[in-house]
Structure 1
Amino acid sequence: MCLDSDLADIFGAPDTQLIALTGGGGKTSLALRLAQQACQQGLSVLVSTTTKMYHPKPDQFDAIAIHSDPDTLWQQLRPIPGKSAFVACSYDAKTNKVSGFAPSIFDQAKFEQKFDLILIEADGAKRLPIKAPSGHEPCIPLSSDTVFQLMGADALMAPLGPELVHRWPRFAEITGAQLGQTLSTAHLQRLLNHPEGGFKAAPKSARKIWVVNKVDEINGDLDTWAHSVIAGADLIDECWLTSTLTANFIVKRILKTRLNRM
């Protein structure tokens, strides 16, 4: 169980906190758990996307609103302490997916300081556990306070290739990985350190958190393994080991002081 279960350091600031979630599988689940945690602390929460994601279930948010005009949405939604709202631009019934807004819309929402917390799914991964971003990805708001980069621990259990890795050719180019290899510490460090890799487009001043989800599916010392990865990953401020489908979803937080932040 995470000792800092209230996550006050993540969304306890007096001004609106904007969090962007990027990377592999687990972004929606993590956004939901963070929203629930924030609501339990009495915060008003806005959740949306800058790409596409599956339409949420009715019981996952206190309000769901879809409209192409964000100004209309802001007029419809009244932030309520302890309540969450999900917004999107459009809905495709064939795919059951919603499309979001440009990152600048959420920069403006942060500037207006209406909601206490804004959670944005800013990347897609086709439900694969790990990825490298393509040229247009990710779509992170410039004013993001925290950027989460996710991977699923199941990426450690299968040979590398397009069945496991979203944007496999780009991933191989960045990490030097070969088809059929097992994901290594060196591969991950290259992905996390590369300017076009895991934290691509993350604001320099943002807290950068690497999240390894589905740790309940792995037997072994993931704590030691994660420490070895982040020891050579210069951009990371901390690592979370999570299991978003369990009650205590943050299994471990590994803090790391980042030097020479400007």
Structure 2
Amino acid sequence: MHLADALAAREGMTCVVGAGGKKTTMYALAARLDRAVVTASVRIPIPSLEENVEEVVVTDDPLGALEAATPDDFPLGLVPGQADDVRYHGYENELLDRLADSHDGPVLVKADGARMRDFKAPSDREPQIPETTDTVLPIASAHIVGEPLDENLVHRPERVAEIAGIDVGDTMTAETVAAVLASDDGGLKRVPGEATAVPVVNKVDDVVLAGVGREIALKVLERAGGRVERVVLTRMNHDDPVVDVVG
């Protein structure tokens, strides 16, 4: 299955949240879609954006920049300015709503941060998901199963522990990952009522991890009920990134 179809990201606005391949997922989608815009509602690393789009426009008027763009500018990165030496700022949600409404192609939004970890739970201020978002992709890495719940691999381990009902330092299981991905305080936090949520288990790099990913996926579907119709297993660093669609 085409990545964009598996992730329900072929059109409209897609917000990517979680940890373990968020930026890689955005850029994998952008490379496979026509007229993709890549942007953010939170800070986004400068090098990764500049290396994965054709043009980066730094502007407080993204709608004007979009109107002025040529076909050769896509995938197009739009950001409002630099936050520091290594990151751009993100736009306000209301402006992203207007941007998506005015664009005739997909808009891909980084909607939270994870400090390069493989798993996370959101803070009180996260995620920043615009109201008109069509799809939300909560992401986690399959690599964390069997690892201890600590800051080496997890952003905000204490929040993960609270959601999953375990203690910091405990070994993470498929149940741990599923509990967070399917939670209103975790992967489904602030998903708009009309949006589609497609949890993603990334870094499914071999047969063993595929089994781990399917176990996570089945537990997510069980916990989330009708709110999640499918879970996608991926290896975003491959030419064919979709490993399986469970659901």
TM-score (norm 2): 0.88
How far has the Cα of 1:223 moved from its partner?
5.1
Map of 2:37 onto structure 1 = 46
How far has the Cα of 1:6 moved from its partner?
6.3
Alpha-carbon distance between aligned partners in 2 of 1:102 and 1:67, rounded to the nearest angstrom = 13
- Residue 249 and residue 132 in structure 1: after superposition, are their counterparts in 2 closer, same or farther (change >3 A)? same
Map of 1:258 onto structure 2 = none
Map of 2:121 onto structure 1 = 132
Alpha-carbon distance between aligned partners in 2 of 1:224 and 1:118, rounded to the nearest angstrom = 29
Map of 1:154 onto structure 2 = 143
Contact conserved, 1:153 with 1:218, CA < 8 A, in 2? no
Contact conserved, 1:20 with 1:121, CA < 8 A, in 2? yes
- Residue 193 and residue 57 in structure 1: after superposition, are their counterparts in 2 closer, same or farther (change >3 A)? closer
User: Which of residues 34, 39, 56 in structure 1 aligns to 2:29?
Assistant: 34
Identity level (%):
23
Alpha-carbon distance between aligned partners in 2 of 1:173 and 1:9, rounded to the nearest angstrom = 28
Map of 1:228 onto structure 2 = 218
- In structure 2, the residue corresponding to 1:116 is in which secondary structure? coil
1:54-79 Cα deviation digits (max 9, x unpaired): 1135452121111234354345435x
Contact conserved, 1:23 with 1:131, CA < 8 A, in 2? yes
Is 2:62 the counterpart of 1:64? Answer: no
Correspondence list, 1:65-214, <5 A = 65-78=57-70, 80=71, 83-92=74-83, 94=85, 96-112=86-102, 114-214=103-203
CA RMSD between the two structures? 2.4
Contact conserved, 1:46 with 1:115, CA < 8 A, in 2? no
Letter in 2 for 1:25: G
Alpha-carbon distance between aligned partners in 2 of 1:91 and 1:115, rounded to the nearest angstrom = 27
- Residue 195 and residue 168 in structure 1: after superposition, are their counterparts in 2 closer, same or farther (change >3 A)? same
Unaligned runs of 5+ in 1: 256-262
Letter in 1 for 2:218: S
Deviating beyond 4 angstroms after TM superposition, the runs of 4 or more aligned structure 1 residues are: none
How far has the Cα of 1:93 moved from its partner?
5.3
- In structure 1, the residue corresponding to 2:168 is in which secondary structure? coil
Map of 1:250 onto structure 2 = 242
- Residue 59 and residue 224 in structure 1: after superposition, are their counterparts in 2 closer, same or farther (change >3 A)? closer
Unaligned runs of 5+ in 2: none
1:95-144 Cα deviation digits (max 9, x unpaired): x11111011111111222x2310000101000111111111000011111
Alpha-carbon distance between aligned partners in 2 of 1:244 and 1:199, rounded to the nearest angstrom = 22
More helix by share: 2
Contact conserved, 1:104 with 1:141, CA < 8 A, in 2? yes
TM-score (norm 1): 0.83
- Residue 18 and residue 200 in structure 1: after superposition, are their counterparts in 2 closer, same or farther (change >3 A)? same
- Residue 68 and residue 206 in structure 1: after superposition, are their counterparts in 2 closer, same or farther (change >3 A)? same
Contact conserved, 2:4 with 2:29, CA < 8 A, in 1? no
- Residue 155 and residue 65 in structure 1: after superposition, are their counterparts in 2 closer, same or farther (change >3 A)? same
Alpha-carbon distance between aligned partners in 2 of 1:70 and 1:5, rounded to the nearest angstrom = 27
Alpha-carbon distance between aligned partners in 1 of 2:182 and 2:94, rounded to the nearest angstrom = 26
Map of 2:8 onto structure 1 = 10
Is 2:18 the counterpart of 1:23? Answer: yes
Q: How many residues align?
A: 243
